[in-house]
Structure 1
Amino acid sequence: MPDTAKDMLDRAMGALVGGALGDALGMPTQLLSPARIAALYGHVEDFVAPVADHPVSKGLLAGTITDDTEQALLLGRILVDSGDRFDHARWVNALLDWEREVKARGSYDLLGPSTKRAIDAINNGVPPEEAGRGGDTNGAAMRIAPVGIMMPLAPLDAFVAKVAETCRATHNTSIAIASAAAVAAAVSRGVAGSDWRAASDSAVAAAGQGAALGHWVTGGDIAARIVWAQELVRGRTVKDAIRLIVDLVGTGVASQESVPAAFAVLEVAAGDPWQAAVISANLGGDTDTIGAIAAGMAGACAAFSRLPQERISRLVGIDIGQVRALASDLVAARATKMKSGKDAAA
């Protein structure tokens, strides 16, 4: 395998496994306030088990991934199996099968509100193309990394159109598509070899285009809020940055809070994936999703080989061999798209 392909695979693995690290570290702190997190766990710097009365994570082992990682890997496999044209029906059926499995495990409350509403609507006979028209939360952004791995960033309109296509069943709104486009663009730029600063610039451009797609819903402009959130915390200590993110940016499931928050975390962590996961876990609110997004973007820019391998070995609920196989397939699909683009331009 050529060195460039090896590097792309390393960065693709960084995106997927980095996201899993952020997800698992934030699992026991999600939905809690920063004060409650500090009282229960101190400053979270490693995997911990959730308290026995945790509202959604009770009973899970320390280091366990959640729906953030599971849906990302599921979407990645559907992307590979779909070929050039995203198989919308296969994706919906895969989500429905996954939902049944999650219910059987007793973890349905871990699903995000937009995905839960859309799946319930599809189960009740609503056409998939209509089910996602109210989805404005962060579920699309949390699982979008495989699109960033598979798709070259240029041409940007085609890239954002692919993001929107994968959002349709659950998050077919302007704000959710803009958010997912931003995260996917950061991952794609990282897989291509750029650092986290360049990835942030690409994210802003993609968010601007994504905001014109899907059903319009009210909410702050994602591109502008990403820029503002990163400027807000630039040069701040971690303690001050956490306070600013919590008090001003927000850490809820709303796309206009959690996605800019993840980019602010990326700024404070200076692109370090594990630090991005640690900062996210201590924010309170939707910590697992913010961590999955921030550490996934950082992982794409840093690469798997620079992630903390000892902590990866303690992840629960993920098969790294299967992740590597998926990452390899996504990178191969990206290489094919890049070659066909060059051939078309020749």
Structure 2
Amino acid sequence: MDTENKVNTQRALGAFVGGAVGDALGAPFEFKAGGLYSSTFPERVVGEVGEMTGGGGWSPGEFTDDTQMAIALAESLIANHGINSADIWERWRAWASSAKDVGILTRQALSAESHDGAARAAEVSNGGKSAGNGSVMRNTPIALFLFDQPLPVVIESAIEQSALTHNDPQAGFGAAIHAAMICAGIQGADMFGAIEDALELLPVEARETWGPLLSDAWSPSESQLTNGTVWTCLAQAVWALRTSSTFEEAVTKAIDLGDDADTVGCVAGSLAGARWGIQAIPSRWSTYLNGAVATPLDNGDIEERTYNYNAL
């Protein structure tokens, strides 16, 4: 393996494992006040499970629906050699049948009989709102599978997977920008420059909305919406990446913002992993990763598969 490909592999692995680490590390702090992570762990915890303490119904190191959906998406991309909306849909439905936690909008969409029109129906049921962070949290496999493809292909695929559950175009725009940044990171390119590259290919409304949110002038103090929305979630994750010099710093900064801490941690972790590679992820975190995803079989049955760090 040549050096360039090795670096690409390390960063690709870093993006996926980094997202899972941020997810599992942030899970106990979900819907909690900002600053709780830093007050709980004022210093690094070395030994046993470290800061991977679990809580809120999650075991130490257990990743949540953020990573579970990403695994299902990744397995669909591999099985179909590309994006196949019908197959992704069936895998997510199988996963949701026994998942501990499924987002409200996602559950509503996956309860439909077909993926056609499901996101729109869920949006209506949710009072016309569907710009949540659920489609960006699971998005990393799109970038990993397509990182060497032209950027328009990456953007189109990110928007397509987003639209399966989130009808608001802004959710898709967020996923597209996230995918562009991951692709750039894997290739050792400028991840912040990739934001501009993506916006050039998106509608004017995307540039007007996302440009200020993802600029180096933005900070979490400017948030007017919760990080349960795609806007604030991605903005906080990019801010954490932009203002950090290590994977650990970026992820803990993101989680310490509170509220939807596991998802912001997941998105920040995927970006940070793509930037610094899997070797930058503390082993005291990655070692304890674990979780399960229900997967549909060819005979119509559903099988629950377990995953740990070595299987991701």
TM-score by length of 2: 0.82
Whole-angstrom CA distance in 2 between matches of 1:5 and 1:32: 40
* Deviation string, structure 1 residues 68-109 (Cα, Å, up to 9, x no partner): 11111211111111124x22111111001000121xxxx13x
Q: Does residue 67 of structure 2 align to residue 69 of structure 1?
A: yes
- Equivalent positions of 1:154-233 (< 5 A) are 155-194=150-189, 198-207=190-199, 209-211=201-203, 221-227=209-215, 230-233=216-219
The alignment partner of 1:193 has SS state of coil
Q: Kindly tell me the number of residue pairs found equivalent between the two proteins.
A: 284
Match of 1:302 in 2: 276
Judged with a 3 Å threshold, the aligned counterparts in structure 2 of structure 1 residues 219 and 12 are, in CA distance, closer, same or farther, namely: closer
Matches within 5 A, 1:40-51: 41=40, 43=42, 47-49=51-53
**Residue 201 of structure 1, CA deviation:** 1.8
Residues 292 and 63 from structure 1, CA distance in 2 versus in 1: closer, same or farther, beyond 3 angstroms? same
Asked if the contact 2:147/2:186 (under 8 Å) is kept, the reply is no
CA positional deviation for 1:223:
3.4
5+ residue gaps, structure 2: 45-49, 124-129, 292-306
1:138 and 2:142 matched: no
Runs of 4+ in 1 over 4 A off after TM superposition: 35-39, 42-46
Identity of paired residues, percent?
24
| Alpha-carbon contact 1:164-1:210 (below 8 Å) kept | no
CA distance in 1, matches of 2:184, 2:38: 35
Contact kept in structure 2, 1:205 and 1:223, CA below 8 Å: no
Give 2:81's aligned residue.
83
2:108 to 105, 117, 134: 117
1-side partners of 2:166 and 2:35: how far apart?
A: 32
Contact 1:250 1:261 in 2 (8 A): no
- Does structure 1 residue 100 correspond to structure 2 residue 75? no
CA distance in 1, matches of 2:142, 2:285: 26
CA distance in structure 1 between the aligned counterparts of 2:155 and 2:178, rounded to whole angstroms: 11
Deviation digits for residues 35-68 of structure 1, max 9, x if unmatched? Answer: 66667x35485525355xxxxx23x222221111
1:182-203 CA distance string (max 9 Å, x none): 1111110111122xxx112212
Q: TM-score, normalised by structure 1?
A: 0.74
CA contact (8 A) 2:41 2:51 kept: no
1:208, 1:112 → 2: CA distance? 31
Output the amino acid matched with 2:230.
S
- How far apart, in 1, do the equivalents of 2:266 and 2:163 lie? 21
Report Cα offsets for 1:252-285 as digits up to 9, x if no partner.
Answer: 2111111111111111223x22211111221111
Q: How does 1:281-320 map to 2 (within 5 A)?
A: 281-317=255-291, 318-320=307-309
Structure 1 residue runs of 5 or longer lacking an equivalent are 52-56, 234-244, 324-346
Q: Is the helix fraction higher in 1 or 2?
A: 1
